[in-house]
Amino acid sequence: MPELEQHHDETAAAAPDLALRRAVVAEVNEVPGVARIEPGLAGAIRSWLSAAPEHEIGVTLRDRRASVTVNVAIRAGYRARDVARDVHERLAAVVQEQGLAPGDLEVSVLTIEPAQPPRGE
* pTM summary value: 0.76
Say if 43 falls within a structural domain: yes
Show pLDDT as tens, one digit a residue, over the chain (121 residues): 333 333 333 334 456 788 999 999 999 999 999 999 988 665 555 555 555 556 678 899 999 999 999 999 999 999 999 999 999 999 999 999 999 999 999 999 999 998 877 676 5
Contacting residues for 64 by C-beta, under 8 A, at least 6 apart: 99, 100, 101
> Residue 59 carries which side chain, given as an amino acid letter?
V
Which backbone phi and psi does 39 adopt, to 5 degrees?
-75, -30
- The pLDDT of residue 66 is 96
Letter string b/e over residues 74-89, b meaning 16 or more CB atoms within 10 A of that residue's CB? bbeebebeebbebbbe
Structural domain including 35 reads 2-113
CATH of the domain at 45: 3.30.70.1350
Say if 119 falls within a structural domain: no
